């Protein structure tokens, strides 16, 4: 169902824009609230007359929108986020967060004019949003979600702990191998007395064999 927006509607469009929506959404929400009217032939004709009358004003608005959109060219935006396990975020990032980041970067934009795929982001990475400065001026803008300072520090500490534990495990394994090797080393005191006793036993046997017989 086509309707004419009578004012800007977040996630849908701008004033005077003709958009297609589900009938129930139009009849139960947009129209009763005065946000839109049905795009009948007469209403569309009236809309075109209004736009024609506002042609000069519209040209000014479009020029201003294009000027704002041009600021996005080459702009790098990274949004810090608290990270949990792996690349998963604590909470999520939405159009309000991106709008805030853009304003800080010098680009004035309202959150309602930003569309993020899926509406929310829950993982680190690079994403692309549609940013509308006017119903006739829309651009795709790439941005990145990165871990915040606290998350980076926590990850470094966790990595350090894992490295220390791995080092301890390796040391335990080395000590265990050393002890096992010394158990079979015949220079080990455990075997020294036994070796000495056997040597003395052999010496006695030799001495007995070499001793002269006293029997005639």
Helix (H, G, I), strand (E, B) or coil at 193: helix
CA distances from residue 28 to 31, 42, 128 in whole angstroms, order as listed: 7, 22, 32
> Would you put residue 91 in left (φ > 0), alpha (ψ -120 to 50) or beta?
left
Query: If pLDDT is split at 50, 70 and 90, which confidence band does 201 have?
Result: low
CATH code of the domain made up of 78-147? 3.10.430.100
Pick the CATH number of 2-53 from 3.30.365.10, 3.60.15.10, 3.90.25.10, 3.40.5.10: 3.40.5.10
> Would you put residue 60 in left (φ > 0), alpha (ψ -120 to 50) or beta?
alpha
Its pTM stands at 0.60
pLDDT, tens digit (0-9, with 9 covering 90-100), for 32-79: 999 999 999 999 999 989 888 888 888 999 999 999 999 999 999 999
CA distances from residue 116 to 11, 22, 77, 106, 128 in whole angstroms, order as listed: 10, 21, 14, 20, 7
């Amino acid at each position: 169902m086509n309707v004419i927006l009578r004012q800007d509607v977040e996630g849908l469009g701008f004033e005077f824009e003709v958009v297609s929506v589900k009938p129930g959404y139009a009849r139960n929400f947009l129209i009763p609230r005065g946000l839109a009217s049905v795009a009948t032939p007469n209403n569309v004709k009236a809309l075109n007359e209004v736009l024609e009358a506002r042609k000069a004003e519209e040209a000014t608005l479009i020029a201003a929108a294009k000027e704002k959109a041009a600021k996005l060219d080459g702009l790098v935006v990274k949004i810090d986020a608290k990270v949990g396990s792996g690349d998963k975020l604590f909470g999520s990032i939405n159009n309000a967060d991106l709008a805030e980041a853009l304003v800080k970067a010098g680009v004035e934009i309202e959150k309602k004019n930003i569309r993020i795929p899926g509406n929310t982001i829950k993982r680190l990475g690079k994403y692309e949003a549609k940013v509308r400065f006017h119903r006739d001026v829309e651009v795709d803008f790439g941005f990145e979600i990165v871990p915040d300072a606290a998350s980076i520090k926590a990850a470094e500490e966790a990595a350090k702990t894992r490295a220390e534990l791995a080092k301890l495990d390796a040391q335990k394994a080395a000590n265990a191998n050393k002890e096992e090797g010394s158990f079979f080393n015949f220079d080990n005191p455990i075997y020294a007395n036994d070796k000495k006793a056997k040597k003395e036993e052999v010496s006695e046997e030799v001495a007995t064999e070499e001793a002269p017989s006293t029997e005639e």
